[in-house]
Amino acid sequence: MSSVNSKPPAPAVRIDDSQASSKPAGAGGAPRAKRRGRRPGAATLTVFIAPALVLFVLFVLFPVLFAAYTAFFRWNGLGGLPTDFVGLENFKTLIGDEVFLGDMWRIGLITVLSIAVQLPLAFGLAMLLHQNFPGRTAFRLLFFVPYILTEAVTAVLFSLIFSPRRGFADSLLAGLGFDDRIGWLSDRGLVVFVLFGILTWKFFGFHMILYLAGRQNIPEELYEAAKVDGATGGQLFRYITVPLMGPTVRITVFLSVIGTVQLFDLVYVLTKGGPFHASETLAITMYEQGFVRNQIGYASALSIAMFLVSLVFALIYQRYVLGRDLQGSLTNGGRA
C-alpha cells in the first residue's frame, strides 16, 4: 500500500482508459471504425478460422445436437442409430423421477449454502489476506492449495477421513471425548452437508483469490480520500469496499452455481451419489442412466435438462444481475 503512495495512482487510471479504447469490447463507435479499417481478407479469415471451426463442429456442436436428437428415442446406444422414437416420453418420465427432483433440490440447497457460507468465508479471508502482515504469501498459497488438487484426489482423501472404521474424523472426536460414531457419509440426512463441507474446503481458495484480485483493483486513493473526510473503518468497508467488490462477487456467485449444477467427479468417487441417492447430482444420474443402465435416450434427456437449467440460470442472471455491471459504474466505467 505504501508503494502506491509513492507513485501517484492517477496515471494508473489513465492507463486503463487508454487501454479501453483499443480493446475490441469497447462500446464506442470510434474503435469499431478503427477495426473495420483493418479487416483481413476472406481468404485469411478462412485459413485461420477453418481448423478451429471444423474441430468445434465435430467435437462440440455435432455431439450436442446428436444428444438432443437421441433424447427423443428409447435407445441403449448399441447397434447403429436409434430407431425407437418415443417423442417426449423421456422428458415426461424425467419430471416424475424422484431422483431427478432430488438432484434439483440438492442443487438448490448447495447453491444457497454456498452463497450463505462458502462465499462469505472466502470474502472474509480475502479481506484479511489483503492486509500487510508477515507470512501473507504463505497463507495465500496455503488456502489456494485445495483448489489445485484434482477432485478425485480430494474425494479419496475425504473418504479416508470420513471412513466409518477408524476414520480420522471419528478418531478425532473420540480423542476429544465424544464416543458416539457419526455416519458422516452413511447418514442420508447428513451426507449432503458433509459434501458441502468438502466442497467448501476445496473451492473457498478459488473464490478467495478472485476476491483478493478484486480488492486489489480498488484504487487506494478512494480510501485515502474517505479517510481525509473522516470515515471510520466500518464506513470504508460499507461504502467503498462492498460496492466496488460487487462485480467480483456477482461473478463468483455465477461460477459457484454453474459449478454446482455440473458437480460430478468428487461426489462420484466419494459416495457414488449414495446412500440411496442422498448425495446424487444431475451429472451422476446422467452417468448412471447412460453408462450403467445403457439408457442413452433417457440420459440424453437428462443432459438436455441440465443444459436448460444452466442456460436459463445464465440468461436470467446475466439479464438481471450482471446487467448492472455492463451499464457502467464507478468501478468499471473505464474498463468494461
Partner 1 sequence: MRNPLFRPRALVAAGTAAMLALGAAACGDSGESDADITFWHIQNEDPMKSTWQAMADEWSEESGSTVEVSAILNEDFKARMSTQTQAGDLPGLYQTWGGGVLAEQVEAGLVRDVSGLPCLDKVNPIALEAYTIDGKLYAVPYDQGVVGFWYNKDLFAQAGITAPPATWDEFITDVQLLKDAGVTPIALGGGDKWPIHYYWTYLVMRLAGLDGLQAGADAGNFSDPAFVQAGQLLADLAAMEPFQEGFESAPYDKTDGEAAVMGEGLAAMELMGQWAPQAQRDNSGTDGPGDALGFFPFPAVEGGPGTVTEFLGGGGGFAASAEAPDEVEDFMCYLLEEENQARVVKDGNMSTVAANPEAVVPEPNAEQQMVIDAMASATATQLYLDQAYPPAIGSTVNDASQGLILGELTPEEFVAMVNEAWAAEQ
Residues at the site binding partner 1, with contacts judged by CB under 8 A: 4, 7, 9, 12, 15, 74, 76-79, 93, 140, 144, 147-150, 152, 163-167, 181, 183, 185-188, 191, 206, 209-210, 212-213, 216-217, 271-272, 274-276, 288, 291-296
Contact 213, 130 (CB under 8 A): no
Contact 222, 204 (CB under 8 A): no
Provide the grid cell at 87. 417423442
Beta carbon nearer to partner 1, 183 or 309: 183
Rounded CA-CA distance 246/215 in Å is 10
The burial class, CB within 10 Å (0-12 / 13-18 / 19+), for 133 is exposed
Supply the minimum distance, in Å, between the C-beta of residue 42 and partner 1.
Answer: 34
Instruction: Give Cα separations from 181 to 155, 163, 167, 168, 279 (angstroms).
Output: 21, 11, 10, 12, 20
Beta carbon nearer to partner 1, 186 or 313: 186
Beta carbon nearer to partner 1, 12 or 226: 12
Beta carbon nearer to partner 1, 250 or 272: 272
* CA angle in degrees (0–180, nearest 5) for 294-61-309: 70
Supply the minimum distance, in Å, between the C-beta of residue 2 and partner 1.
Answer: 14
Q: Looking up cell 462477487, which residue turns up?
A: 249
Supply the minimum distance, in Å, between the C-beta of residue 206 and partner 1.
Answer: 8
- What own/partner pairs with CB < 8 Å and gap ≥ 24 does 227-230 have? none
Q: Quick count: other Cβ atoms within 10 Å of Cβ 257? A: 21
Beta carbon nearer to partner 1, 109 or 149: 149
Supply the minimum distance, in Å, between the C-beta of residue 67 and partner 1.
Answer: 13
The enclosing H or E element of 40 equals none
Beta carbon nearer to partner 1, 235 or 294: 294
Supply the minimum distance, in Å, between the C-beta of residue 185 and partner 1.
Answer: 4
Supply the minimum distance, in Å, between the C-beta of residue 322 and partner 1.
Answer: 19
